[in-house]
Structure 1
Amino acid sequence: MKKWIAAASLTLSVTALAACSDEEASEVVVSTNAGDITKEELYQEMKTTVGEQALQVMVLEQILEDKYEVSDEEIDAEIESMKEQYGGQEQFDMFLSQQGYTEDTFRDTLKLNKLQEKALIEDVEVTEEEIQQEYEQMQKEVNARHILVQDQETAQNVKQQLEEGADFTELAKEMSTEPAAQETGGELGFFSAGDMDPAFEEAAFSLEPNVISEPVETSFGWHVIEVLETREAEVDSFEEMKDEIEHDLKLAKADRTQASAMIQDMMREADIDIKDEDLATTFDAFLSQPEAPAEEPAEEETEDTES
């Protein structure tokens, strides 16, 4: 992502220079006692170094903006939320600086990301029941501990030892592959919906306190979980949170493996015509991929009738 945005921040300059008249192109942008650099020379250098990447970003954003809308208010809300998470403006500015962004270029990042999100989730469906269930989970916080191991057989063995009276903390320190387990004994503290791996979270939120879970598989390995206690969480009303929950659920359901194919299809539909010969091959990698075969409609079954 960072690479794409770095290119995007340069794209505006490249595009502006491309439209210059001869007089503007010869305008000096830097002068030293060793010589001058004109707008045209700068454009040619930028085109050589980041031209294709910058053009890809610009065209993608233009295509997405033609179909979807991201308002300044959405970006403002995201920025303010991140400032709160980082503890204020100063800490947020430090984060941006460490990542190589200014607030303006970071806003560009968020806008492009949100445009791509809207394209990705356009056809994803979420039911009212799913939204309500997620909201109910958000009203509860869980204090849990776990033991993480590499395979299901080991997880079953851990579960059996715990049920036979083994000390959870000591067993976690002995067997857990989690780096922090030696210090924490597998304790995670309180967490709420959306904080953990979905499979882990689903298991933890369905457990009663002091019950050992069946082994739960996540991308990290196999977990044996015990919930120590639960408590109510302070959240906004359902109506205030409904849209955000729906968006997050759709994003979780979306098939991200289809993102590249979706972008390729949109590029083809855009009928891209590059006027600059030096950039003529910019989209070859996108457009040369074979199109996904369209699904054939299922044939309707017909009953044989005697005439």
Structure 2
Amino acid sequence: MRKYFIIGFLILTTMLTAIIGCGVKRENKLLAKISDRTITLGEFEQRYRHKVYPSEEEEKEDKMKTLNTMIEEKLFAIAGEKDGMREEVEKTLEDYPDRLAVNQLYEEMVVKKAQVSLIELKKTYRKMGRELHGRHIVLKTKEEADSIYRELRKNDAKNFADLARLSIDTKTKDKAGDLGWFVWGRMDPEHQEIAYKLKLGQISKPFETRFGWDVLQIVDERTKKIRTFEEEKQTIESTLKRQKMTKTATDFLDKIKSRAKIHYDTTAIRMLAGKSTQDKPANPFEPPPLPVLTEEEGKQVIVTSILGTITAADLIADAEKKFRKPPLNTEETIIRFLEGELTNKLLVRAAGRLHLQKHPEVIKNYNRTLDNRVAGEYRKKYITPREEIPEDEMKSYYETNKETYSIPERRAAKVVVIKSKEESEDIYRRIKRGGDIGK
């Protein structure tokens, strides 16, 4: 073990200049090699927490400490492997390669496909310079919205105020549907996409939102002063990329689910929900106990898909494996749990079809995690053996120092600081209509 520490120290001192002076992140740059293990600059950057230092010496010392810790972990992993710990730790990571493969699937199918072009950035920037004044009518059904749309088109929207009284939006129905002024990025994405495609005076065709079926008209617009394109570019790019990633991920999930031919047996699900005990758990934060089934009940098929069948017994067995047992006392919670399990299995299947379990990044991350776990076991066994403290002694200490563990009451708040009273009143109205203060 001693020779490894000497090697580690030599590597540490010779590679430190490269770490501190490296302005460009080069993930594959080799910083240290300990036996058959390596530490790259990319791994170091992931681990190291950047701070503001009073001096270069303190920065150097902190980086040395981080790299030394990483080298120690590799040394402990090597020692732990020789001690036979690797096999036992691998048993606890049985499903981990699949989880990593799903993460890589997200990278391949979502992140890499959600790229934002310069044209998109400039197009969005131009929209940010337009401030719109709109009005709308919200109906419960598409049929009602289609009827309103035809009436508006027939009368050139002169009857908008009268028809707005039929709106289910109680905050705008008595104000001729007036939405006030709004800018790009400060309204619901569903409305925003439609609003900024409309010309002045144009009425949108009915479109569905989480509030109902909407008919929207732009009644006025004006230019808004904004920062330069270069100043706004990064914010626009991150916003558009996040939106694209959300849509791409949703579309991908919908696609694999639609192909999975999922069919739920409502009779079997109802049976399972009925078997759940009505007794409340002693701890109110704990879910109800899992249903207890007879052998015949356990054989009932709950759901079928391209993955095969899941019986009631299979479902209970899957639920038992969870660290926190899911509530399976209603049809809704059972279906929600099934959807989660099926989605995960479908994603693993999709990753497998692309052979992502063998992807270099997956293998690298698995080996890194395995090394860290083995190192932890070795450290726990040989370096810092834990002394068992009697429970009554811990309780006595707790009672004596109870105030140390008390948690003061906390409240979460969001604050928006606005330059003008008009803008603040506009934001206040949008929040009262259910808008997100974070946007």
Give TM-score, length-normalised by structure 2. 0.33
Computing the radius of gyration from Cα coordinates, the structure with the larger value is: 2
Give TM-score, length-normalised by structure 1. 0.46
